[in-house]
Amino acid sequence: MNTGVVHIEKKEKEMIVQLRLPGYSHKDIQVEVAQGSLSILAAHKPGSLIKSIALPENTKTEKIRATLRDNTLTVFIPLRSIDETAIHLWHKRHSISVE
């Protein structure tokens, strides 16, 4: 996986987003959810990287988690079942800590 290229894998109950960020640390990375989008901001000298990804309507935004291991940011996005999606409302903007 090349730096800056987003890899997205959709499974039955979750979506996994991966982004290679060599040289970045936890404190350099912000992951946020707002208005149906996942935003990733990686700020580091000499430059910054911003990615925005539209989330499916059945995303469990309150359960999203992110890890940084071996220079790869991985964001785990749980998905609601069809029955749960019918009553889903988008949540307020919030940040996701990178573990």
55 is a domain residue: yes
34 is a domain residue: yes
Q: What is the CATH number of the domain that holds 16?
A: 2.60.40.790
pTM of the predicted model as reported, rounded to 2 decimal places: 0.82
56 is a domain residue: yes
What DSSP line would sit under 71-84, residue for residue? Answer: TEEEEEEEB--HHH
Contact in structure between 66 and 99 (CB atoms under 8 Å): yes
- Total domains in the fold of the chain: 1
pLDDT averaged over 10-residue windows placed end to end, the chain, 99 residues: 83 94 92 93 86 91 94 95 60 75
16 is a domain residue: yes
What was the pLDDT predicted at 91?
A: 55
92 is a domain residue: yes
What was the pLDDT predicted at 47?
A: 79
What was the pLDDT predicted at 2?
A: 66
20 is a domain residue: yes
What was the pLDDT predicted at 40?
A: 95
CB burial of 55-65 (b: ≥16 within 10 Å; e: otherwise) equals beeebbbeebe
1 is a domain residue: no
Give the residue numbers spanning the domain of 57: 6-96
